[in-house]
Structure 1
Amino acid sequence: MKLNWFNKIVKENPKFWETYLAYFDENQSKEKRYVVFDCETTGLDYKSDRILSIGGVAIQHNEIIVNDYLEVFLQQDVFKAETVPIHGILREGKEEKIVEAEAVIRFLDFVKHATIVGHHVDFDIEMINQCLARLDLGKLKNQSMDTDIMYQKLKYLPYEQHISLDELCTIYKVKKSDRHTASGDAFITALLFLKLKRKLEI
């Protein structure tokens, strides 16, 4: 610990957070990397609900990098049995489950300073930010892109006219394998992102 000029204790950040922040101080001219991710959660209230699993896959050179991925399952301190038929994650399932703090550390180590991509991604980002807040840390610094907004721009739709992930899959003929799993939804969204990115020429 160190003292500031008011003689108050200044909190030292944990090393993993300092490592994450350092990515944004480095030269950003490296090859663009995107991380498409999704969270399965106990519900849609980011203040009271919790993350059940995080899935993500990286994209570089307009290709999905299949060996650059993340999949973690979290210990369920908050359990809602009524949501199990949607995500299929049992409280005492076969998956190895880790504590929330460890899941956040792994997520930050995976995402680094990549541009974050998701479908209705603001919710997933806020769920991660709530985890960070519980660790007394700041918010994610990554830029983000939303496949819903990308489609709105492509079709000149009003902002309030949203489209679901299932609808996008139907439109672009993307197979909905492993739907409603974090890793499955991340991969599906990655395929849609590449299609939309090419059409928008970005």
Structure 2
Amino acid sequence: MGFLNWFSVKKKNYPEFWLAYLDTFKDQVNTDISNTRFIAFDTETTGFDYTEDRVLSIGAVSFINKKIDINQSLELYIKQDVFKAESVKIHGILKNSKVNKLTELEAIKAFLAYIKSDILIAHHANFDRNMINEMLLRHGLGRLKNKFIDTGALYNKSVHVIYRDEQRPHTLDELAKELNAPLVDRHTATGDALITALVFLKTLARLDKRKHLNWGYLMPK
């Protein structure tokens, strides 16, 4: 079997929801920032090891033109095959809590249907991206194709533009305090996603004042 035929067969073996996700990237149109759909998201996990730990919950909020659509937020809780009691004091998610929980595969389907090909925003984005990618790989899928913006890295750019050159990592709490963003439902996935969105929008406002609000400045090189 030739390479192209093998690739076609392999692609057909992917589930429909994954192919539908990939299809959203085919007709992407370059729009200006004000018309772009952004999605801020966060994961709560059993720990910080990408392969050994698991995602307990995913929260996400979407916004276009600086308007957050709270009514269209996403909140997913995932049935656990790995449980670490010591992490409960951080995220508060108990193994046998009464919230409606999905299987990992069901959560993947819901998350991909929500994000489509839109730009994802997270604080310390590599961690959340890697945790989601490990979920995908466990089910024989590819990695996320979306573009990512890290609020920590973006904030450092705005700080350099405004008044000083500082490149140290910042916690989400530090950025929220500096930018006067309310800490709503901290350490829940949806609450942290909302805080991340507010931090992002307030950072955009800083950049916009200095005429640095453009794709070249937003997207990592």
**Does the alignment reach a TM-score above 0.5?**
yes
Unaligned runs of at least 5 residues, structure 1 = none
Give the whole-Å Cα distance in 2 for the aligned partners of 1:96 and 1:25. 34
Alpha-carbon deviations, 1:12-40, whole Å to 9, x = none?
Answer: 11100100000100142463100000000
- Partner residue in 2 for 1:15: 16
Total equivalences in the alignment:
198
Q: CA RMSD in A?
A: 1.6
Give the whole-Å Cα distance in 2 for the aligned partners of 1:8 and 1:170. 53
Q: How does 1:26-41 map to 2 (within 5 A)?
A: 26-29=27-30, 31-41=35-45
- Partner residue in 1 for 2:150: 146
Q: How does 1:108-147 map to 2 (within 5 A)?
A: 108-147=112-151
Q: Using the TM superposition, name which of 7-16 and 140-149 deviates more.
A: 7-16
Q: CA deviation at 1:158?
A: 5.1
Give the alignment partner of residue 67 of structure 1, picking from 71, 75, 94. 71
Alpha-carbon deviations, 1:110-159, whole Å to 9, x = none?
Answer: 00011000110111011110011011111111001011001111122454
Partner SS, residue 58 of structure 1 = strand
Q: CA deviation at 1:5?
A: 2.5
Give the whole-Å Cα distance in 1 for the aligned partners of 2:146 and 2:6. 31
Partner SS, residue 35 of structure 1 = strand
- Partner residue in 2 for 1:24: 25
Q: CA deviation at 1:8?
A: 6.0
Give the alignment partner of residue 178 of structure 1, picking from 174, 179, 185. 185
Which portions of structure 1, spanning 4 or more consecutive aligned residues, are displaced by more than 3 angstroms?
A: 6-10
Give the alignment partner of residue 96 of structure 2, picking from 79, 92, 103. 92
- Partner residue in 1 for 2:219: none
Output the TM-score relative to the length of structure 1. Answer: 0.93
The structure richer in helix per residue is 2
Output the TM-score relative to the length of structure 2. Answer: 0.85
The residue type equivalent to 2:56 in the other structure is: L
Q: Give the % identical residues.
A: 45
The structure richer in strand per residue is 1
Give the whole-Å Cα distance in 2 for the aligned partners of 1:101 and 1:110. 14
Q: CA deviation at 1:71?
A: 0.3
Give the alignment partner of residue 168 of structure 1, picking from 150, 166, 175. 175
